[in-house]
Amino acid sequence: MSDGRERLPPPFGIAFQPIASVRTRLVTAQEALVRGVGGRPASTVLGRVEPAARPAFELAIVQYAMARAMVLGITVDLHVNLSPHVLTRTVGGAAEAAERLLRLAQAERFPPQRLVLEMTEGERIDDPPRLRRLADAARTVGLRLALDDFGAGYNGLALLAEVEPDILKIDMALTRGIDRDRVRRSILAGILRIVEGTPMRVIAEGVETVAELATLADLGVEEVQGFLIAAPAYERASDTVSLPLACRCDPLPVDPALSPIIVGRIG
């Protein structure tokens, strides 16, 4: 018979990875990524959490990330990852879910207006209207919602239209090798045209080469994240990036033969 000890939450830590502005070369946000103790992969932690305990565990990660951000003196936005079902299925609905997050922020004395909830688009979202209600409720208490991994998941443009997130994070499947791929450039150009005129911010993930960065800047992406900017740092955070980020006002090393194809607005 089990003594229940295996059900205790596994120990974990947080690695912080910066998001930077292409134009100013300044850090605009830090993403908090769960890690095993000592910086081991997230799978060594998440794989030990029972499904029934996952919602409480993910909220514990959010609270710990805010606590660490305060200790480390992080003064920019803090992005935290949450599975959509963790909050969309909260008893009491969207308003109670948002209030619960607000209480966690208040407990850590973390400014709620700097908290960004990243909902991964790689997980199927069965009830987009409920997620929209969560986004609206979160905004009423000063929180913001980001749609993560956009372009590589299940929901795509329909979810984007339904939820209208504050931030759209472009998946590395689109950014990787974008300087050499006309189709990827066309798709990203189309996404940027879709959100043009909305308050939505766009962040490109997975940037690893200067050529990718230059192409993204040329397309109009204003914020980037990836190993070229900085790798995740376990239990510490850098408020500067040494990389001389390319901006659209700089000469861009893009082969004219591979210039982006701009597509019209969809819809």
Quick check: helix, strand or coil at residue 152?
coil
The pLDDT-based confidence of 47 (bands split at 50, 70, 90) is: confident
Which of 165, 84, 95, 82 lies closest to 137 in space, CA to CA?
95
Domain ranges across the chain: 15-254
Which H or E run contains 15? strand 13-21
Which H or E run contains 31? strand 27-35
- Give 30's strand partners: 18, 78
The whole-number average pLDDT for the span 78-84 is 90
pLDDT value, residue 262: 32
The answer to whether the CB of 148 falls within 8 A of the CB of 118 is yes
- Reply yes or no on whether the pLDDT at 181 is more than 90: yes
The tokens for 49 are: 């959490």
Alpha carbon separation from 98 to 107, 134, 225, 226, 237 (Å, rounded) = 14, 7, 27, 29, 27
Alpha carbon separation from 203 to 117, 200, 241 (Å, rounded) = 14, 10, 16
Provide φ and ψ at 260, rounded to 5°: -65, 145
The whole-number average pLDDT for the span 186-212 is 95
The whole-number average pLDDT for the span 194-213 is 95
Q: How many CA atoms lie within 13 A of 68 on its CB side?
A: 24
The pLDDT-based confidence of 54 (bands split at 50, 70, 90) is: confident
The pLDDT-based confidence of 86 (bands split at 50, 70, 90) is: confident
Which of 133-147, 207-221, 251-265 is modeled with the greatest confidence? 207-221
Name residues whose C-beta falls within 8 Å of residue 21's C-beta, 6 or more positions apart in sequence.
27, 28, 222, 223, 245
pLDDT value, residue 29: 97
Q: How far apart are the first and last CA of the chain?
A: 59
Q: Which residue has the higher pLDDT, 106 or 88?
A: 106
pLDDT value, residue 253: 39
CA distance 220 to 247: 9
Alpha carbon separation from 106 to 30, 63, 103, 181, 218 (Å, rounded) = 19, 10, 5, 46, 40
pLDDT value, residue 248: 45
Express as a percent the part of the chain with pLDDT over 70: 81
The pLDDT-based confidence of 249 (bands split at 50, 70, 90) is: very low
CATH topology of domain 15-254: TIM Barrel (3.20.20)
DSSP string, 228-258: TT---EET---S---S----TTS-----GGG
Dihedral sign from CA coordinates of 234, 78, 230, 123:
positive
The pTM (predicted TM-score) of the whole model is: 0.85
- Reply yes or no on whether the pLDDT at 224 is more than 90: yes
- Reply yes or no on whether the pLDDT at 37 is more than 50: yes
Express as a percent the part of the chain with pLDDT over 90: 56
pLDDT value, residue 244: 54
